[in-house]
Each structure stands twice: as structure tokens, then as C-alpha cells.
Homo-oligomer: A and B are copies of this chain.
Amino acid sequence: MLDTVHENPRPDRTATPIELIEQLARVAAAYYRHFAAAAAGHGLTLMQGKTLSLLTRPRSMRGLAGLLSCDASNVTGIVDRLEARDLVLREPDPSDRRVKNIALTEHGERTVRLIRADLMSGLTALEALTAEDRGALRSLLDRAFPETTSAAYRALPG
């Protein structure tokens, strides 16, 4: 274990907050570039792909708007287009007739799986990390962006 060190912290590199923010900008851009390419491979937009991948369980329009960080009126159009391609379904909520629950169709579930696979195959360097490195990266990102833990996302209403 101890001899599998990849010269880890590499303290010679500058790592000021500014430098780190610029690198995060590049990483975020690279991530979305990969994701958009994977979605485009299935004729979908970045937002449409994001929406599909958020539907691990049915969600209300408002809930989706929150997760997508956009106005609810946008979600109407996005879901309209996804529904027109039979990727998604609007179901009336049994306990509140105002809300519509959006759920993946079978075709939608297949598409999400394919997009996710394409995305992962494009991020080969990420899979090349050791389990130790992945754990360290997760821990650091959790502390750098405490608002975005997976627990916080799952617990959201809608």
C-alpha cells in the first residue's frame, strides 16, 4: 500500500485559492463538454440529458427546477420535448392535483444508462485513479462544496 504512492500531494505546485478556482473552471468546463457530447450522441441537449439523469426517481416540475437551478417555466419546455420523444412521462400526483410527477419511461431509462456509459468511457483518466485517490478526491470535493453532498440531493422534496 505504502509503496504505491503516486507522488501524491506534489507540494511544489502552486495551489493558491485563485489557481484552484481556475482549475475548477477548467474541470467544470471539461465535464460539461464530455456530458454534452454524450447527450448529443443520443440527439439530446445538455439540459435534456441533465434532466434525464436527475430522474433516478419521479420528481415534480418544481423539484426538477430546483435541481437544475433554473426557473420552473424552463422545465415545462424541456419536459415537453422529452415527453414528445417518449423518454419521460407526466403523471398526476395522487395526493395533490396541482403537481405532476415526471418519471422515466423504459426508453428513457435505457437512454440514461447509455449516456452514462458514454460519459464514463470518455473519462478514462478518472477510472485510472486508485480507489485511495478516488476516496481522497471525494472527501476533498465534499469539503470544498459542502452544499452538494449526495445526501443533500436525495433528501430534497419533489
Residues of A within 8 A of B (CB): 6, 8-11, 13, 15-33, 35, 50, 53, 69, 116, 119-120, 123, 125-129, 131-148, 150, 153
What chain B residues lie within 8 Å of A50 (beta carbons)? Answer: 25
A56 CB to nearest B CB, Å: 10
- Number of this chain's copies in the complex: 2
Q: Are A31 and B24 in contact (CB under 8 A)?
A: yes
Q: Tell me if A's interface is mostly helix, strand, loop or mixed.
A: helix
Q: Are A140 and B145 in contact (CB under 8 A)?
A: no
Tell me which of B6, B11, B69, B148 contacts A27 (CB under 8 A).
B148
What chain B residues lie within 8 Å of A120 (beta carbons)? Answer: 17-18, 21
Tell me which of B9, B127, B147 contacts A139 (CB under 8 A).
B9
Q: Are A138 and B11 in contact (CB under 8 A)?
A: no
**Residue of B at shortest CB range from A56?**
B22
Q: Are B69 and A33 in contact (CB under 8 A)?
A: yes
Listed residue (A35, A69, A138) with the most chain B CB atoms within 10 angstroms of its CB? A138
